[in-house]
Amino acid sequence: MTTICPFCIQIKAIPSSIPDLVWEFPNSVAVLGRWQFYQGYCVLISREHAHEPIDLPALSRDGMMSEVWWLSKAIALAFKPRKLNYELLGNQVEHPHWHLFPRQISDNEHLKPAWVRIDREENNAPLRSILEGKPSERASTIASIVTILQELGAPKA
C-alpha cells in the first residue's frame, strides 16, 4: 500500500497552489504555520521525502540545516521573540519538516512547548481562533519575513 504524503503533495504543487508560501529555498520550502498566536510561526518542509532526516542525502540535509538558520534568523529579526523554539517531530507526517515557533514573554506558557496549549485548545472554537490569529494579518506577517530574507540575501531556489 502506498501512503500519500501531504507534504509531498504540497511540494509538487509549487508554485501554483501552496497556501501561505513564505520562501522557496533550494532544499526546503517555508510556509506560514496555522497557529499565528505565535506570530511568525513557520513550517520549513524538505523538498525531499524521507522517513527520518538522517535518511536524507548529505547535501539535502546540510542545505536544509542552513535554511533552518536563514528562516530562524529572519523570524527572530522580524518578531524579536524572547526565544525561538525549533521542533522536528514527524509523528503525524513522516516527511522532514521543522516547526519554528517564536515565543514571546507575553505568552504566559512560554516555558512550555507550544503544542501543550495547541493540543488543549484546538478543539474549542473560540480558543482555536485565538491560536490561529487574525486571517487578515497573515499576509503582512509573511511580508515581514520575506523582506528580511531578501535583505539578508537568503538563498532562493
Q: Is 46 in the site for Zn ion (CB under 5 A)?
A: no
Q: Is 95 in the site for Zn ion (CB under 5 A)?
A: yes
Window contacting Zn ion (CB under 5 A); options: 21-29, 63-71, 74-82, 88-96: 88-96
Q: Is 13 in the site for Zn ion (CB under 5 A)?
A: no
Among 8, 21, 118, 130, binds Zn ion (CB under 5 A): 8
Position of minimal CB gap to Zn ion: 5
Q: Report the distance separating Cα 21 and Cα 128, nearest Å.
A: 22
Among 18, 26, 49, 118, binds Zn ion (CB under 5 A): 49
Window contacting Zn ion (CB under 5 A); options: 5-13, 28-36, 101-109, 137-145: 5-13
Q: Is 97 in the site for Zn ion (CB under 5 A)?
A: no
Window contacting Zn ion (CB under 5 A); options: 31-39, 77-85, 95-103, 142-150: 95-103
Q: Is 5 in the site for Zn ion (CB under 5 A)?
A: yes
The minimum distance between CB 106 and Zn ion, in angstroms, equals 35
- Four-point Cα dihedral 24, 28, 32, 37, nearest 10: -140
Region for residue 133 given its phi and psi (left: phi exceeds 0; alpha: psi -120 to 50; beta: otherwise)? left
Q: What is the DSSP string of 20-56?
A: TEEEE-SSEEEEE-S-TTSTT-EEEEESS--SSGGGS
Q: Report the distance separating Cα 31 and Cα 146, nearest Å.
A: 11
Q: Report the distance separating Cα 64 and Cα 55, nearest Å.
A: 13
